[in-house]
Structure formats: structure tokens, C-alpha cells
Amino acid sequence: MEFTIEKLVRENIRRMTPYSSARHEFAGEAAIFLDANENSIDSPVHLVVTGKDSSLQLNRYPDPLQHELKEKISRVKGVPAENIFLGNGSDEAIDLLFRIFCTPGKDNVIIFPPTYGMYEVCAEINDIEVKKVPLLSNFQINLEALEQTIDQNTRLIFICSPNNPTGNSMNREDVETILNNFDGLVIVDEAYINYARQRSFIPELTEYPNLVILQTFSKAWGLAGLRLGMAFAGLPVIEYMNKVKYPYNISTATQQLALAALEMVPTVNNWIQATEEQKSRLQKELGALSFTQHIYPSDANFLLVKMKEAKKVYDYLSQKGIVVRDRSRVKLCEDCLRITIGTIEENNQLTDALKNYPA
Ligand SMILES: *Cc1c(COP(=O)(O)O)cnc(C)c1O
């Protein structure tokens, strides 16, 4: 299967000239910056990041390509900095892939429902057809149905692994089969990879020019409020993402806070461990409830739980002030609730409430 990026990129994107910022055009070392119409005096707020002696300089525009942060992510993830794109959450990367590679009203993408909702939302916003190939009853990819569905206008295939809301990882060989046989982009969304037994596809990046891996600071890293997502891909894909993104898409505050977070790898690993322990505990306690019908195996920080009349359980929990995700009307997830693993105390309250549920 031959992968040629120029055949994949939208005509208008291929031809356009990207925005060139003041800092883009000047390459040397300077002491006085009078090129970007910033307020040279000061910024009205000062943020001191843990481990930094000085406060952030917010009156200046941020580094458009986030060099320092990418160097650090590169060391943590084992991906060359030039193969990293950073966005305002993974959602920015997802949206950019549509805008770069899919022509509205003409091209289509493939998703495997039940899965993460943003792929379809982004497709609709961009007027791109979504072809759905439902997962098999074991929540794995239906390769035969996929083969029937791909056509000459299929540009992107989204594989969420571990998958939200089903919690399982996709069979590695199936993902490789798709990577080997599809000449569009294969996006492997690894938002929950830190909780998975399966390893990341990062080592495969050098082998597959059509592979895009998404990861995020929103889950295991504990920074959902910061809005920082990562995409890892071959240079041609990353270059187009940089060409189309907003010039200053990641704020100075976000860059500095993420740099500080990346010093905390051992703490994050402890949290992952603690979450795994609480997951095992919830599997046991929820499994013992008379109205629990099935708990699906989970490679993520949530459990998909099939319960007798799940909607009623959902309403009962809501009324106790505990909100879980009702997936009971989602195909293949009938009567299922998706429950995020909480803190010990939150999980105590959840299990106490459920033990008192009048089943
Ligand atoms: C939570 C989640 C994300 C994260 O999105 P951000 O925009 O980075 O917060 C991405 N993909 C999946 C499947 C998720 O569940």
C-alpha cells in the first residue's frame, strides 16, 4: 500500500501560504522585541510555576511551535520532537485532521461505534460523511465489514484503543492489518494508554507513515483543565498540522505548567497504580451487587457495567448526588453505565449508595 501525503491533502490546504508570525520571521538572538505589538510594560497577572524562580512573562506571545515543551515530551515519550504536534486537547488534533485531509461534501471517514463522540461531531462540523462499522459483540473491530466499507474517498479511520466507552484495547494485529492495507490515515487514539496492559503504538511510528497517535494530558496526567493534547506522526503529517493550526494555539501558561508536570512522572505513575487498585476494588464490589449483570474488562480508568434497568440505577445515583455516564441507550452498551474510577472516598460513597439501592 503506497502512502502519498500529497494525494491525501485537500487542494486548498496544499496550495495555501500559512500565517507567518513576527517571531517566525526572525531567527537570530534579540534583546529588544518591537515586532509583535505586545504590551512591552508588563502583564497584569503573575503566575509562578512550581520549581520556577521567576513568574511567567504573559505580556509576550508564546513560542508558536512549543520547542522547549516538545523537547521534554520527546524525552518522556521517546518520540523525536519534530514528530510531535501539540493542541488545545486531543480535540484540536482531531479537528485539524478533518480540515487538512477531508474535502467537505466529498470525502468520508470511518469510525467503530460505540466509541468516542468527538470524531463524529468534528465530521459533522466539517461536513464530512461518517461511515460506521460497529464493533463486534466482543468489542473488537469487524475487519470484513471494514473492508466492505472503505471506498476511494475514505480518508481517515479512527481507532480508539483503549476504547471509550467499552474500555478494551483493540487487537494489535487488527490495527496492524489496517495500517498495512489502508492508504489514508489511521488515527489511534491512546487517551487511556497509561492504564492499558497493551503497549503504545509509538514504536511503530517509524514503520507506518499513515499512523497518527493521539495522547492527552487530560486523563492519567491529571490536567483535563489545562487543555493539552499530543499527536505523534510522521513529519509530513505534522508539518501540515503546524501549517493549519492557529499560530499561537498553546498559551505560555499551558506550556510552562506542562513543563512542570513532566517533572512529576513518578507521582503520575503512583496515581495510575492507585487507580488500578481502586478499579480492582470496584470490580469486586460492583460485581457482588444483585443487579449487576456484567462488568467488562477495562484497560482504562473507568468501568463499563451492565446493570438490570441501568437507567433506574442512574437516576437513583443522580438523586444521591453521584453522576455517572448513562450509556444505556448506546448500541452494544444497552443497560450499561460508564463509571469513572474515583478517589477512595468517592468510591466508598458510590458503593454505599449502590448497596442501599432498592433493586
Ligand atoms: C477523554 C478523551 C480524549 C481527551 O480529549 P482532550 O481533548 O485531550 O481532553 C480523547 N480521546 C478519547 C477517546 C477520550 O476519551
Residue with CA closest to ligand 1 atom 6? 89
User: From ligand 1's centre to the CA of 180, what distance in Å?
Assistant: 26
Exposure letters 20-37 (e unless 16+ CB within 10 A, then b): eeebeeeeeeeeeeeeee
Distance, CA of 318 to CA of 331 (rounded, Å): 23
Q: Give, using CA atoms, the residue closest to atom 12 of ligand 1.
A: 191
Q: Assess whether pLDDT exceeds 80 at residue 51.
A: no
For the CA of 115, the closest atom of ligand 1 is: 13
Grid cell at residue 93: 488534533
Per-residue confidence (pLDDT) for residue 335, from 0 to 100: 98
* Residue 313 CA to ligand 1 centre (angstroms): 26
pLDDT score, position 54: 76
Which residue is listed with cell 455516564? 325
User: Domain extents for the chain?
Assistant: 5-20+61-263, 22-60, 266-355
Pull the grid cell for residue 37: 505589538
What pLDDT band is residue 252 in, cutting at 50, 70 and 90? Answer: very high
pLDDT at 53 over 90: no
pLDDT score recorded for residue 359: 82
- CATH 3.30.465.10 applies to domain 5-20+61-263: no
CA angle 207, 210, 215 (to 5 degrees): 90
| pLDDT tier for residue 55 given thresholds of 50, 70 and 90 | confident
Among 92, 94, 95, 116, say which to mutate for ligand 1: greatest number of ligand atoms within 8 Å of CB: 116
Q: Which residues line ligand 1 (CB under 6 A)?
A: 89-91, 116, 160, 164, 189, 191, 216, 218-219, 224, 229
30-39: long-range contacts, CB 8 A cutoff, minimum separation 24: 33/60, 36/60, 36/61
pLDDT digits (tens, 9 = 90+) for 112-126: 999 999 999 999 999
Q: State the pairing for strand pair 325-326/336-340.
A: antiparallel
Nearest to residue 112, comparing CAs of 129, 134, 94, 130? 134
**pLDDT(21) > 90:** no
Q: 209 CA to middle of ligand 1, Å? A: 23
Distance, CA of 124 to CA of 127 (rounded, Å): 5
Residue 114, preceding bond cis, omega within 30 degrees? yes
**Phi, psi at 350, each rounded to 5°:** -60, -50
Which of the following CATH numbers is that of domain 266-355: 3.40.190.10, 3.40.630.40, 3.30.360.10, 3.90.1150.10? Answer: 3.90.1150.10
Grid cell, residue 262, equals: 513532566
Whether the per-residue pLDDT at 182 is higher than 90: the answer is yes
Dihedral sign of CA atoms 351, 348, 193, 243 in order: positive
Lowest mean pLDDT among 44-53, 82-91, 117-126, 285-294: 44-53
pLDDT higher than 90, residue 311: yes
pLDDT attached to residue 295? 98
Closest ligand 1 atom to 160 CA: 13
The residue contributing the CA closest to ligand 1 atom 7 is 89
Q: In sequence order, which residues have a C-beta less than 8 Å from that of residue 323 and are 6 or more positions away? A: 317
Q: Let me know: does 116 contact 188? Beta carbons within 8 Å.
A: no
Q: Which atom of ligand 1 is nearest to the CA of 229?
A: 8
